[in-house]
């Protein structure tokens, strides 16, 4: 069986989602910059989107002939809307913190504690 002539299946999408998840987690845990952490969060959300689309695909459905299988795509669109709102709010918080502290270093954010 030649892996280059094999059709793309759900396993391939899940592998891409797992790689994106690992890259996002590494980015979140190793970056000291708040913007780098936000990029890691976006990668994790994109990994969730890839998995949602893969699990909502017609390959896994028994009634694929009758259905257009948009469940995963609709959930992914909902996650994209939530990610956009999260990015806007987080960027506003980072800009406000930068205006008061003149840095976006996450380690120096302990001054925000009450």
- What is the per-residue pLDDT for 111? 66
Give dist(CA 4, CA 62) in Å, integer.
Answer: 27
Domain boundaries, the chain: 34-102
Among 76, 70, 42, which residue's Cα sits nearest to residue 57?
70
CB 72 within 8 A of CB 57: yes
- In Å, how far are 45, 54, 70, 108 from 33, measured between CA atoms? 19, 32, 37, 10
- What is the per-residue pLDDT for 61? 59
- What is the per-residue pLDDT for 11? 86
Listed as ranges, residues in the chain with pLDDT below 70 are: 1, 3, 58-69, 111-114
pTM of the predicted protein model: 0.77
Give dist(CA 55, CA 66) in Å, integer.
Answer: 17
* pLDDT per residue as tens digits for the range 19-33: 999 999 999 999 888
Residue that has been written with the tokens 């028994």 in this structure: 62
- What is the per-residue pLDDT for 16? 94
């Amino acid at each position: 069986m030649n892996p280059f002539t094999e059709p793309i299946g759900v396993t391939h999408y899940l592998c891409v989602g797992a790689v994106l998840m690992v890259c996002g987690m590494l980015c979140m845990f190793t970056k000291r910059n708040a913007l780098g952490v936000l990029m890691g969060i976006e990668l994790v959300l994109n990994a969730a989107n890839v998995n949602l689309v893969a699990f909502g695909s017609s390959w896994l459905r028994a009634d694929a002939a009758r259905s257009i299988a948009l469940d995963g795509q609709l959930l992914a669109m909902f996650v994209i809307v939530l990610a956009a709102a999260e990015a806007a709010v987080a960027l506003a918080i980072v800009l406000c913190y930068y205006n008061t502290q003149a840095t976006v270093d996450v380690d120096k954010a302990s001054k925000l504690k009450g």
